[in-house]
Amino acid sequence: MSSEASPSLVTQGALILHGNNFDCNRGCQALRLTTQMILDRYLPDHPRVYANIFRNDDPQFHTIEPDGKSQGQIWETRRRGTAGFYGWGAMVVTARLWRRFPPMRVNRRSKDAAAVLALGGDNLSYDYGFLASLLFFSPLATAVRRRIPAVVWGASIGPFSSRPYWEQRFANVLRRVDLITVREPITQDYLHGLGIRDNIRRVTDSAFLLPAEPTKLPDEIEQALGAGAIGINLAPLMIRYNRMSSGTWFTQARDMVLEVYHKARLPIVLIPHVMMPPHVFPDNDDFEFLSALRDSLPAQVRSEIHLYDARHDSCKQIKWVISRLRVFAGARTHATIAALSTGVPTFCVGYSIKSQGLNREIFGHEQWVAHVSQLTAGRLAERIQDLLSSETAVRDHLRSFMPDYAEQAWCGGEYLRQTLLQRT
């Protein structure tokens, strides 16, 4: 892929894809690759510009299935900790104090775009902080004001009720965008409650379309998978949602893994899905977290608890490893999507409405999801035991349900194509 997009490169036919994160977050990589698949089918003649808060410097962004239709990137600041970052941050805070959406480079360059698509899945929420929500709403608000086609792509949205003034501001933007494709029913119900109906279409998260790709694994992990391993993904980011210190959460996560092992007596594979460098997003590296967790385990159980080093594997390869598990418990949404889409019984360690909504959509209930703040070590082990007891029924349900469900992800492309045709 090319690097930064100059203003002249954002042509009238270009789609600006805003908000999807770095490829070191393999969930974001899955969204990028599957969005490319959908756009290649429905809008093959439109070039694409990738825009985000920080530049995507991950090597896989440039080397794994590069997008031949890319016109480059637009980012607000290259990385945290630089002088430019602090100047940019001051601008964002000032805009917030004036109750305005922050001015952004992408806004200056969007005037000739064919459309602005808000990607990222859950950016339009408070999951990553209030300032982040302002940044992700700003390109949509600008596109609406300029009458550029504006689309929210495969999203979970809100809730914003803790800040009533901004809930109304956000609702006014969402009411005026051309198309909102939502991936689960809780978001749809929430938007209906705000009086937003006519521009909403239901789709499936595009990552359900991601193909799995084999990778070479160490012998001990191959043996564990052959013995019916349980997969576990626990993330350091959970301290945002369980109100624990990092030390307390580390101890609880360690106890969770131990309790699952002692109850199930099956090998465990620890599976990282986000491996963010510290200069980009501190304390958001699953591999470092799970590596330290495994090292802290008693020696007598460590031989049965394995760490999958996914740092050089793509989202497709991680999905292939996950597909071979007996059951999976995961905190990262797209790790759980990798499991569910391949028929693996999955317990979601949730932290927002997206996990609840996806479970309600797929199973019709929330038996296999719980908020991270509600889980103790013993409680997680009990739920995994329940899942093992229900394994056959859950696999049968996923096997029958998933093909048609995943196919609905393609609908977003047709909705987008029709939206752009109506605007011409």
What backbone phi and psi angles, to 5 degrees, belong to 6? -80, 160
Please report, for residues 12, 53, 74, 142, the alpha-carbon distance to residue 149 in angstroms, rounded to integers and kept in the order given. Answer: 12, 21, 19, 10
CATH of domain 219-389: 3.40.50.2000
Task: Give the SS3 label for residue 329.
Answer: strand
CATH homologous superfamily of 7-209+407-423 = Glycogen Phosphorylase B; (3.40.50.2000)
Report helix, strand or coil for 214. Answer: coil
pLDDT attached to residue 7: 47
For the beta carbon of residue 294, count every other beta carbon within 10 angstroms: 17
- Look up the pTM and report it: 0.94
For residue 386 the two structure tokens come to 């329940």
Which pLDDT score is estimated for 65?
A: 87
Residue ranges covered by each domain of the chain: 7-209+407-423, 219-389
CA distance to 19, 40, 42, 116, per residue, from 417 (Å)? 20, 11, 6, 13
**pLDDT of the chain along its 424 residues, tens only?**
555 655 445 566 899 999 998 999 999 999 999 999 999 999 999 999 999 998 888 889 988 888 999 988 999 887 666 667 778 888 889 988 999 999 999 999 888 899 999 998 889 999 888 999 999 999 999 999 999 999 999 999 999 999 999 999 999 999 999 999 999 999 999 999 999 999 999 999 999 999 999 999 999 999 999 999 999 999 998 988 888 999 999 999 999 999 999 999 999 999 999 998 877 777 899 999 999 999 999 999 999 999 999 999 999 999 999 999 999 999 999 999 999 999 999 999 987 777 888 999 999 999 999 988 888 899 999 999 999 999 999 999 999 999 999 999 999 999 999 999 987 7
The number of helices, as runs of H, and strands, as runs of E, in the chain is 18, 13
Which residue shows structure tokens 């709403």?
Answer: 137
Closest CA to 322 of 402, 215, 235: 215
Handedness of CA 104, 155, 332, 225 (dihedral sign): negative
Gap between the Cα atoms of 269 and 355, Å rounded: 22
| pLDDT number for residue 397 | 98
Please list the alpha-helical segments (H only) found in 265-352.
286-295, 299-302, 315-323, 333-341
For residue 330, the model assigns a pLDDT of: 96
Contact of 70 with 48, CB cutoff 8 Å: yes
Instruction: Summarize pLDDT for 335-391 with one digit per residue, the tens.
Output: 999 999 999 999 999 877 778 889 999 999 999 999 888 888 999 999 999 999 999
pLDDT of residue 66: 87
Give CA–CA dist 329/344, Å, rounded.
10
Looking at residue 11, what is its pLDDT? 61
DSSP letter for each residue of 334-384: HHHHHHHHTT--EEEEE-SHHHHHHHHHHHSS-TTEEEGGG--HHHHHHHH
Q: How far apart are CA 1 and CA 317, in angstroms?
A: 21
d(CA 30, CA 361): 20
Question: Can you tell me the distance from the alpha carbon of 23 to that of 314, in angstroms, rounded to the nearest whole number?
Answer: 9
Q: What are the residues facing 73 on neighbouring strands? A: 4, 50
Complete DSSP assignment for 224-263: HHHTTPEEEE--GGGHHHH---HHHHHHHHHHHHHHHHHH
**pLDDT of 81:** 64
How far apart (Å, rounded) are the C-alpha atoms in residues 229 and 220? 11
Distance, in Å, from the CA atom of 359 to the CA atom of 33, rounded to the nearest integer, reads 23
For residue 36, how far is the Cα from the chain centroid? 16
Evaluate the omega torsion of the peptide bond into residue 267 and state whether it is cis, within 30 degrees of 0.
no
Residue 273 CA to residue 286 CA, distance in Å, equals 6
CA distances from residue 405 to 31, 35, 196, 245, 335 in whole angstroms, order as listed: 17, 17, 24, 38, 17
pLDDT at 278: 76
Structure tokens at 326: 């007996």
Residue 57: partners with Cβ closer than 8 Å, 6 or more residues away: 22
